[in-house]
Structure 1
Amino acid sequence: MNDPRDMQARILYVDDDAAFVRLAQKALGRSGYEVVHADNIAAGLELLGKGDIDAIVLDHYLQNTTGAEFLKVLRENSITVPVVYVTGSSEAKIAIDALKAGAADYVIKTVGEEFMPLLESAVAQAIATAELRRDRERADMEILRGKERAEVLLTEVNHRVGNSLALVAALIRLQISSIDNEEVKHALTEAQARITAIGGMHRSLYSSDDVRQVEMDKYLASLTSELRSSLEHADHKLTISLDVEDIRLSSDQAVSVGMVVTELVTNAYKYAYPDTHNGEIRISFLRAGEDKAVLAVEDDGVGWQQTDQPKGTGLGTRIVKAMAASLGTGIDYTARDKGTRAELVVNTTR
């Protein structure tokens, strides 16, 4: 950092003792400072308004008022020019009050030769500290602008990825409509649902006010709607109910939760009500304490236990286990009189 004196720092000296200020002007001038004088608050504010003041030397005793009033005016007008407060030798309390009111430093006024060197040192330190503060504020602002630019770019990326995955899902849907083989249709439908779950997460990030977190109530509502559209058939009239609290997760957690929901709902559609093809699937994601939430998918169908062999290829079961493991937990199938309830605990503070 440059020495403020190398840049001809400009000092405003507020004191009604003109003779003493002339002495200060000579002493500080020899060190490279330019000192301008104001003998009252109004004159000091006028000089400040013209700008180019690097520091203020403020005497406590002014005509009909005190430097404390000047500090108050500076604070009320959000003027941040550093102030070195000058007090009498027996006025330590006044100096402390001045520091509390915003002064950068204080110097005890004496008639000895040590006063001017002390004043010069305090002024130099006050200017240097103020410059450091401004540098820090500029750096913080640059960091903030960089963060905002990164968030804008990340939002755009999420938007593009979400749109691309939606296009892939739409292409698969078209492919499904042209295939007669039911087994292939089911496989493609499940693949479409998985792609939709991931794409929905990216769309949620795009529309969120925080690109680092997914609003799970909105995400799961959108995912449920997509699943209903892709899985429902004319002879298969299952309903899905949703109970989700305002919980936010990171994007990787949200993808895992979305995949688990997709697989469990898909399995329930296929196997829970084989005879009637009518029933309800209930999804809930509710808080369980300050840092936990419980995800549950349940139905009133034929039932399935964790020890049962998976139906079909078992791919959905393997995906559910893998996604639950990525969340740092496992999935449990609780015993019920009728139907199946699968649940897992999610740490919401990751």
Structure 2
Amino acid sequence: MASDGSIREAHEAGSGRAELPYRLRQQALMGAFARMALQTRDLDALLRRASELCAEGLSAACCQVLEYRAHDHAFVIRACTGLGDDRVGTDLTAGDEATPASYAFRTGAGVLANGIRPGAEHDGARFHPPEGLHLPEGPAPAGLCHTVNVPIALGDESRRAYGVLEAWGTEGHGFDRADQEFLAGFAGLIGIAVERHQGDARLRHALDHQVQLTREMSHRVKNSLGVVAGLLRLQARDAQSDEVRHALEDAGARIATVAEVHDHLWRGIHQLGMVELADFLRELVAKLQEEAPGHDLACEADPKVISADQAIPIGLVVNELVTNAVKHAYPQGTGPVRVALSVRADGLRLTVRDDGVGLPPGFDVTVRQRSLGLKIIASLIRQLDGRLSTEGGGTGARFVLDIPLA
């Protein structure tokens, strides 16, 4: 019986390679690929690199990553090294089990076949190269070629396979079991990467679905609040007293402001639950303008994306301050009301000012007020953890709200 040493020497003599450096190079290539598999989420780049490293590690004429496509029982070439990039994306039949890839995929076992003669399908040989595979001329005797194939298994409960990793060569006497194990190691890493990629895709789909559901909910809430606001306005028209009418109109305006936030949540392209505050305030002021004919309402705002939980109280504060200015700043007519939002290093500064009659003598915004609107403003400011101040003197009134941001 031949010793392991004599078998190795015979193999080295037949293959024309030094066995130890050859295996060490394979280990180094697999280690490099394992590091890449941990670092990248680009599956196409990973498959392309796998085919390159496998071809290098096996001194193979070509190496291909084949993905199985169930609906037409075919393989699609996802990566190919040695035969040109134009093969990537092309199809191979998976129904011919005389091709090593089809046999490996069906049985779940690796295929090691040396000494395959192209065209052998016509003489009853067990395996033959797939149609369209044209290997370069090599030193193998009588134009023979060699192949090693391993299935790319996935680790889920179905125990299904993603596809096949295969290499073809024309050198010497072909591949051996150690080469097959080398290829199987790459196939295992590819399977893990494919599972991660598919898991990422499922997670993205689930998140997209959740976003869609949330936007649909915001859309319905916005519509429902719009109906409530409209009903309050209708009720206000039939009110028997000015006090009741104004109260109903104010309540409708507050509800419409909350509806406006939900409208932005529904239509927004930013992340879930976030509102572009500048756009929201400009649209809010434009809607308030519709309810204040003759007044000149304007808004200037720096862009800032904030959560809906912050946008709602900010919008309600603007609604209350602008409405108060429209009602009380110009008792003899109409005039401008300006809303400004600036983004500062320590948070946001919201300013609402007018050029009207100004604040009453001795007015102190920090003192509890009898006005419902000012009570609402005080409650909203506590919710925002903000600080409201006023500036009198000269013409008009100026309210300044500083809002810290985390």
Instruction: Verify the 8 A CA contact 1:162 1:202 in the aligned structure 2.
Output: yes
- Residue 327 of structure 1: aligned partner: 384
Query: Taking structure 1 as reference, are residues 325 and 63 closer, same or farther at Cα in structure 2, changes over 3 Å only?
Result: closer
Residue 214 of structure 1 aligns to which amino acid in structure 2? V
Query: Taking structure 1 as reference, are residues 323 and 117 closer, same or farther at Cα in structure 2, changes over 3 Å only?
Result: farther
Greater displacement, 135-144 / 208-217: 208-217
The answer as to 2:305 corresponding to 1:248 is: yes
- Residue 239 of structure 2: aligned partner: 179
- Residue 221 of structure 2: aligned partner: 161
Deviation string 1:236-268 (CA, Å, 9 cap, x unpaired) is: x33211112222221111101101101111221
Q: How many residues align?
A: 257
Q: Which of the residues 175, 184, 189 maps onto 1:129? A: 189
Q: Which of the residues 199, 221, 224 maps onto 2:282? A: 221
Instruction: Verify the 8 A CA contact 2:355 2:396 in the aligned structure 1.
Output: yes
Instruction: Verify the 8 A CA contact 1:196 1:226 in the aligned structure 2.
Output: no
Q: CA deviation at 1:341?
A: 1.4
In the TM superposition, 1:134-283 aligns within 5 A as 134-210=194-270, 211-230=272-291, 232=292, 237-274=294-331, 276-283=332-339
The answer as to 2:374 corresponding to 1:292 is: no
Determine the C-alpha separation between the residues in 2 that align with 1:18 and 1:135. Answer: 41
Q: CA deviation at 1:217?
A: 2.6
The answer as to 2:298 corresponding to 1:301 is: no
Query: Taking structure 1 as reference, are residues 307 and 242 closer, same or farther at Cα in structure 2, changes over 3 Å only?
Result: closer
Residue 283 of structure 2 aligns to which amino acid in structure 1? S
Instruction: Verify the 8 A CA contact 1:196 1:223 in the aligned structure 2.
Output: no
Residue 269 of structure 1 aligns to which amino acid in structure 2? V
Instruction: Verify the 8 A CA contact 1:321 1:330 in the aligned structure 2.
Output: no
Q: CA deviation at 1:136?
A: 1.1
Query: Taking structure 1 as reference, are residues 321 and 117 closer, same or farther at Cα in structure 2, changes over 3 Å only?
Result: farther
- Residue 341 of structure 1: aligned partner: 398
Greater displacement, 302-311 / 240-249: 302-311
Instruction: Verify the 8 A CA contact 1:217 1:246 in the aligned structure 2.
Output: yes
Instruction: Verify the 8 A CA contact 2:352 2:398 in the aligned structure 1.
Output: yes
Q: CA deviation at 1:186?
A: 1.1
- Residue 58 of structure 1: aligned partner: 55
Equivalent position SS for 2:209: helix
Determine the C-alpha separation between the residues in 1 that align with 2:286 and 2:386. Answer: 27
Equivalent position SS for 2:348: strand
Residue 222 of structure 1 aligns to which amino acid in structure 2? E
Query: Taking structure 1 as reference, are residues 116 and 345 closer, same or farther at Cα in structure 2, changes over 3 Å only?
Result: farther
Q: CA deviation at 1:60?
A: 6.3
Determine the C-alpha separation between the residues in 2 that align with 1:285 and 1:216. Answer: 9
Query: Taking structure 1 as reference, are residues 204 and 72 closer, same or farther at Cα in structure 2, changes over 3 Å only?
Result: farther
Q: CA deviation at 1:198?
A: 0.1
Determine the C-alpha separation between the residues in 2 that align with 1:262 and 1:18. Answer: 89
Query: Taking structure 1 as reference, are residues 259 and 18 closer, same or farther at Cα in structure 2, changes over 3 Å only?
Result: farther
Equivalent position SS for 1:331: strand
Residue 194 of structure 1 aligns to which amino acid in structure 2? R
Q: CA deviation at 1:317?
A: 1.5
Determine the C-alpha separation between the residues in 1 that align with 2:382 and 2:355. Answer: 26
Q: CA deviation at 1:223?
A: 1.4
Instruction: Verify the 8 A CA contact 1:204 1:214 in the aligned structure 2.
Output: yes
Equivalent position SS for 1:241: strand
Deviation string 1:138-172 (CA, Å, 9 cap, x unpaired) is: 11111100010011111111111111111111111
Determine the C-alpha separation between the residues in 1 that align with 2:358 and 2:178. Answer: 86
Residue 306 of structure 1 aligns to which amino acid in structure 2? D
Deviation string 1:279-338 (CA, Å, 9 cap, x unpaired) is: 21110112224x633111111223334358676x42222221222222232222234423
Query: Taking structure 1 as reference, are residues 318 and 300 closer, same or farther at Cα in structure 2, changes over 3 Å only?
Result: same
Q: CA deviation at 1:277?
A: 2.8
Query: Taking structure 1 as reference, are residues 20 and 308 closer, same or farther at Cα in structure 2, changes over 3 Å only?
Result: closer
- Residue 42 of structure 1: aligned partner: none
Determine the C-alpha separation between the residues in 1 that align with 2:57 and 2:188. Answer: 23
Q: TM-score, normalised by structure 1?
A: 0.63
Query: Taking structure 1 as reference, are residues 130 and 338 closer, same or farther at Cα in structure 2, changes over 3 Å only?
Result: same
Deviation string 1:209-243 (CA, Å, 9 cap, x unpaired) is: 1242212232222211322333x36xxx3321111
Equivalent position SS for 1:172: helix
